[in-house]
């Protein structure tokens, strides 16, 4: 812990050793030294350092009344396979932090700290450094401390050059300020934040569509992508919405619900934060990255596209109509144009979960 | 999150679907239903339920003054391979919770909550249920809530029948009650808690020794194991020490340091909590599970054994001599016989890290 991932130990020369069994403690020690400054750069005031050889310590902020901890864990799915194929390991950490921290902030929480787990068959410290370095950069951008992590060398568990990457995020919110959707009313407005592409969901389907069905390679630059390669489009890092959420809350907007659009898309993720009997009516179309159209063109029907991918919207705020301008202005002030997606409408209480998002004709 | 691991989504019949791409949402939904009651049984008073579709919520206990959160993440290493070989998936969760929660409590923290990440190539809900069920049981035994988790189906990432398992634990301690080893003094007493076997460290070496060098199989019952099979001995679940720690702290013992003996054994884990210039002198031998001797007999030198395995001691308390009896009695009251390992002695400040544990001749 605290990236003290492989304790120092005797380097003896016995008959059968841990190193001979495939676990290279020295490579691990090397990595720890490389990661230290990256993690240190993410420190926030609450981090309690120089303490806790076995764990990461972080104080509960004193300015949060009746604090509730908000936590989540997630990986980045088979987007990893795209990183392996392209050899680009500098952005996957943004996906990892995005998948976790974007979830945590939906409750109105301020991110506090993050931990990562990196596992591989044979440790390549330079790859691991790039991966964990990108985790650290994304933590910094999200305003949370990279408090610790684990690097596991598991001989025989992963194919050569592959790795698993898992994240854990913890945030904090005052109990009275928890955002949970229960106050959403008919007529409330949904404001969306654009996604950068697929983010970190639906890659098994996208890879099957692009590679197996269309026979594209990661290096191909089909005209639909406007100059980007398939690999570049697929690797577009997940956007980090923590600062957007803090800005909207700080502007005093009465945020009634927030949704992170991940696996299952809008139809799966919006109803999670809408009271029964209410639905989101999407009233306009919006731009999305060209990768969505390319995947669709492989023969994925629209209903499956919408039920798998974020379709260009990575995060949604639900606010009262009178607060929509203030929210948009707070976002505009940080260079973000909110998408006026539509409104909350009344539907029969027995309408199917996934039909509580109505698409424009 | 909250084991809402795969949101409901349309079951359409398109040309190319997520299911055809290897991700079975229905199997995931089935698993969620199986896991719900297991996780519910671990609830503690602080859990905030029916809230947080995207995250797990847990209040900070009000009776902890100036609360500091203590967190850690870890997997169970290649002990997983033994679970795969034996088909026994009912105890690996104890290893996972042990690896994480035993770390967190070394700071004097009370465990609060736990999250698990389970990833596999093709989801077998019955295996996943056994694994996550054992995580839930271990959480309950450690007094922490299983607050959420992620089940990831990653086609092509794992060999058939294999999976990855990662845990994340958060505890809380009053700032003034943080146990960090800084107050350890010459003459303090080290009390050990027995391990059940290898716990979750050194399996790459142990497997190489037993399977590759000694050509044993998991079903073999070598006389050294006294009736146990190799698989049974290797799978002995990691002991959970959270309740022991709470009992000793509740008895008013002045606990000056605690160490969870994991990878690197006593030589790597004791110096992490001893001030520079102090070392632990082990003054006696103690019993350990026969698996250690079997591994050694494959040709692993003693120094490598000690630097890889826990050698029979899973957790160590360092207390002033005057408090040793009280600590032992608190443990005895819960049926645990503490091992009087030895004492803290003075050594030159430049003595090598791993030589700060002195073994009996």
List of chain B residues whose C-beta atoms are within 8 Å of the C-beta of residue A298: 16
Name the token pair of A216. 């594209």
pLDDT at A50: 62
Residue pLDDT, tens place only, B312-349: 999 999 999 999 999 999 999 999 999 999 999 999 99
The Cα A166–Cα A150 span in angstroms is: 10
| Low pLDDT (below 70) residues in chain A | 1-15, 50-52
ipTM score: 0.93
Nearest to A166 among B117, B156, B207 (CB): B117
Q: How many CA atoms lie within 13 A of B242 on its CB side?
A: 27
The Cα A209–Cα A278 span in angstroms is: 34
Contact across the interface for A14 and B113, Cβ inside 8 Å = no
The Cα B157–Cα B150 span in angstroms is: 16
The Cα A68–Cα A59 span in angstroms is: 13
Average pLDDT over residues B60-89: 96
Name the token pair of A264. 């299952």
Secondary structure (DSSP) of A144-159: -EEEEEEEEE-TTTS-
In contact, B252 and B336? CB cutoff 8 Å:
no
Classify A111 as helix, strand or coil.
strand
pLDDT at A1: 42
- Chain A interface includes B160 (CB < 8 A): no
- Give helix A242-250 / helix A92-105 axis angle, nearest 10°: 30
The Cα A222–Cα A229 span in angstroms is: 7
Strands (E), chain A: 47-48, 56-59, 67-75, 110-120, 145-153, 163-174, 189-194, 257-260, 278-282, 313-319, 339-346, 357-358
Q: How confident is the model at residue B292 (pLDDT cuts 50, 70, 90)?
A: very high
Q: How confident is the model at residue B16 (pLDDT cuts 50, 70, 90)?
A: confident
Sequence-ordered list of residues with C-beta below 8 angstroms from that of B45, at least 6 positions apart, any chain = none
Q: How confident is the model at residue B20 (pLDDT cuts 50, 70, 90)?
A: confident
Contact across the interface for B263 and A6, Cβ inside 8 Å = yes
Chain B nearest C-alpha distance from A204 (Å) = 6
- Chain B interface includes A87 (CB < 8 A): no
In contact, A81 and B10? CB cutoff 8 Å:
no
How many angstroms separate the Cα of B112 from the Cα of each of A134, A155, B42, B69? 29, 33, 11, 9
Contact across the interface for B51 and A178, Cβ inside 8 Å = yes
Q: In what order do the strands lie in the sheet with B163-174?
A: A47-48, A56-59, B67-75, B163-174, B110-120, B145-153
Name the token pair of B221. 């019952």
Hey, CA dihedral for A85, A86, A90, A94, is it positive or negative? Answer: negative
pLDDT at A9: 35
The Cα B177–Cα B2 span in angstroms is: 31
Q: Is the pLDDT reported for residue B9 higher than 60?
A: no
* Residue in A with minimal Cα distance to B202: A18
Q: Is the pLDDT reported for residue B1 higher than 50?
A: no
Name the token pair of B25. 């949402």
pLDDT at B51: 59
- Chain A interface includes B150 (CB < 8 A): yes
Q: Is the pLDDT reported for residue B177 higher than 70?
A: yes
Q: How confident is the model at residue B2 (pLDDT cuts 50, 70, 90)?
A: very low
Chain A / chain B CB contacts < 8 angstroms: 342
Among B168, B58, B39, B57, which residue's Cα sits nearest to residue A107? Answer: B57
In contact, A82 and A231? CB cutoff 8 Å:
yes
In contact, A330 and A247? CB cutoff 8 Å:
yes
The Cα A64–Cα A87 span in angstroms is: 43
List of chain A residues whose C-beta atoms are within 8 Å of the C-beta of residue B20: 208
Q: Mutate which of A54, A66, A264 to disrupt the B interface (most B C-beta within 10 Å)?
A: A54
Contact across the interface for A69 and B53, Cβ inside 8 Å = no
How many angstroms separate the Cα of B358 from the Cα of each of A324, B81, B266, B272, B324? 68, 33, 10, 15, 20
Nearest to B16 among A22, A113, A208 (CB): A208
Other C-beta atoms closer than 10 Å to the C-beta of B333 total: 10
Residue pLDDT, tens place only, A203-239: 999 999 999 999 999 999 999 999 999 999 999 999 9
Kindly report the backbone phi and psi dihedral angles of residue A168, in degrees, each rounded to the nearest multiple of 5, phi listed first. -135, 130
In contact, B145 and B114? CB cutoff 8 Å:
yes
Q: Is B284 exposed, middle or buried (0-12, 13-18, 19+ CB in 10 A)?
A: exposed
To which residue do tokens 């105890």 refer? B91
Kindly report whether the global pTM for this prediction surpasses the value 0.90: yes
In contact, A230 and A155? CB cutoff 8 Å:
no
- Chain A interface includes B35 (CB < 8 A): no
Looking only at the bridges linking them, the beta strands covering B163-174 and B257-260 are unpaired
How many angstroms separate the Cα of B319 from the Cα of each of A141, B176, B181, B183, B345? 43, 17, 10, 10, 13
Classify B217 as helix, strand or coil.
coil
To which residue do tokens 């919110």 refer? A173
- Chain B interface includes A78 (CB < 8 A): yes
Q: For chain A, how are helix, strand and coil distributed in percent, rounded to 5?
A: 35, 20, 45
In contact, B35 and B129? CB cutoff 8 Å:
yes
To which residue do tokens 């008013």 refer? B252
The Cα A264–Cα A268 span in angstroms is: 5
pLDDT at B10: 33
Q: Give how far the C-alpha of residue A281 lies from the chain's centroid of Cα atoms, to the nearest Å.
A: 25
Q: Is the pLDDT reported for residue B278 higher than 90?
A: yes
Contact across the interface for B71 and A60, Cβ inside 8 Å = no
């Amino acid at each position: 812990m605290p990236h003290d991932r492989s304790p120092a130990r005797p380097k003896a020369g016995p008959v059968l050793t841990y190193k001979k069994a495939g676990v290279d403690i020295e490579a691990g020690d090397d990595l720890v030294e490389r990661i230290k400054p990256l993690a240190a750069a993410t420190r926030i005031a609450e981090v309690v350092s120089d303490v806790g050889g076995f764990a990461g310590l972080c104080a509960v902020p004193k300015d949060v009344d009746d604090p509730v901890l908000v936590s989540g864990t997630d990986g980045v799915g088979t987007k990893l396979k795209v990183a392996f194929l392209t050899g680009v390991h500098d952005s996957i950490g943004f996906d990892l932090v995005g998948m976790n921290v974007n979830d945590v902030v939906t409750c109105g929480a301020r991110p506090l700290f993050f931990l990562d787990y990196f596992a591989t068959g044979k440790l390549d410290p330079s790859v691991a450094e790039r991966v964990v370095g990108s985790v650290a950069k994304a933590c910094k951008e999200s305003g949370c401390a990279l408090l610790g992590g684990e690097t596991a060398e598991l001989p025989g568990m992963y194919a050569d050059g592959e790795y698993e990457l898992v994240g854990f995020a913890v945030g904090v919110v005052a109990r009275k300020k928890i955002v949970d959707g229960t106050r959403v009313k008919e007529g409330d407005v949904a404001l969306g934040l654009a996604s950068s592409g697929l983010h970190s969901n639906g890659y098994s389907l996208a890879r099957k569509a692009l590679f197996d069905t269309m026979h594209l390679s990661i290096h191909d630059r089909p005209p639909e992508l406007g100059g980007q390669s398939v690999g570049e489009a697929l690797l577009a890092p997940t956007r980090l919405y923590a600062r957007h959420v803090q800005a909207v809350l700080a502007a005093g907007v009465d945020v009634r619900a927030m949704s992170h659009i991940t696996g299952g898309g809008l139809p799966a993720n919006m109803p999670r934060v809408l009271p029964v009997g209410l639905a989101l009516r999407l009233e306009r179309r919006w731009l999305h990255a060209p990768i969505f159209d390319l995947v669709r063109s492989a023969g994925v029907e629209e209903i499956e596209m919408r039920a798998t991918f974020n379709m260009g919207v990575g995060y949604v705020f639900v606010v009262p109509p009178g607060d929509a301008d203030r929210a948009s202005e707070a976002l505009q002030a940080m260079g973000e144009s909110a998408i006026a997606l539509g409104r909350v409408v009344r539907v029969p209480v027995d309408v199917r979960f996934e039909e509580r998002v109505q698409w424009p004709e």
